[in-house]
Amino acid sequence: IFVVVTSVVVSIRLIRALNPQPYDSGLHVAAYAFAPVLLCIVAGQMSCFLLLGMVLFLLLYRQQRFWAGVALSLCMVKPHVLVPFGIALALWIIRERKYSVLYGFSSGCIVSSIVPLLFRRSIWQDYFAMMLTYHLERQFWPTLSMLFRLAVHPSSVWLQYVPVLLGASWAIWYYLKHRQGWMWDNEHGYLLCQIGRASCRERV
């Protein structure tokens, strides 16, 4: 819980640096009382790390791209909720040749994958074994994709992928439409980040 709360506090304080315009100090306090934030803290949700990773990325991507990529590796705790953002990011890296972001992201993922091995060498074997035997497709998750599947055809697991495919297609179209002068810290980039955070709230 302490780590989750720390992530929230740091994220909210860093968000202030993204907007140089004067603001009402009451909004800063209200951010801590925002219902999804409180739910994440109470439930000990790792979604707060996604918020921290994206905020750090927005602050660093202009001048410290490698570390911006490292910050994004925090988002790998729940990569499935950031598919539209990730697709637009990949297109941006390729088009703008910002490969240092990719190098930083890869480095962060490698380090975060190796560290757990220091405490338990079989952790990845145990994880994949659990994924194969737990039958996640039989579990109920209160998400849009699950509700869509239950409404159309409960036994057709592939229907759960329809919303994410639509979201991925939209992300490709949206980035290509606004690729000229694309900036992550303006309304275009913020929209994709907001979609990611909305997905996090959906899974709380």
Question: For residue 50, what pLDDT band results from cuts at 50, 70 and 90?
Answer: confident
Query: Ranked by mean pLDDT, which of 62-71, 116-125, 193-202 comes out on top?
Result: 62-71
State the average pLDDT over residues 12-22: 74
- Within 8 A by CB and 6+ apart from 53, the residues are 71, 72, 73, 74, 75
Has residue 203 got a pLDDT over 50? no
Whole-model pTM: value is: 0.79
Cα–Cα distance for residue pair 40/176, rounded to 1 Å = 34
Whether the CB-CB separation of 82 and 196 falls below 8 Å is answered with yes
Cα–Cα distance for residue pair 188/71, rounded to 1 Å = 20
Q: Mean of the per-residue pLDDT values for the chain?
A: 81
Cα–Cα distance for residue pair 175/92, rounded to 1 Å = 8
Cα–Cα distance for residue pair 189/118, rounded to 1 Å = 37
- More confident site: 27 or 180: 180
Question: For residue 23, what pLDDT band results from cuts at 50, 70 and 90?
Answer: low
Could you tell me what percent of the chain has a pLDDT over 90?
Answer: 21
Q: What is the per-residue pLDDT for 40? A: 75
Cα–Cα distance for residue pair 111/121, rounded to 1 Å = 15
The encoded tokens of residue 176 equal: 């290509």
User: Among residues 112, 105, 79, 97, which one has the least CA distance to residue 203?
Assistant: 79
User: Among residues 174, 188, 169, 183, which one has the least CA distance to residue 96?
Assistant: 183
Question: For residue 200, what pLDDT band results from cuts at 50, 70 and 90?
Answer: very low
Cα–Cα distance for residue pair 154/149, rounded to 1 Å = 5
Q: What is the per-residue pLDDT for 202? A: 43
Q: What is the per-residue pLDDT for 193? A: 62
Q: What is the per-residue pLDDT for 132? A: 76
For residue range 95-141, list pLDDT tens digits in order.
999 999 999 999 999 998 888 888 888 888 888 887 777 776 677 77
Cα–Cα distance for residue pair 1/46, rounded to 1 Å = 10
Q: What are phi and psi of 147, to 5 degrees?
A: -65, -35
Has residue 142 got a pLDDT over 60? yes
Q: What is the per-residue pLDDT for 164? A: 85
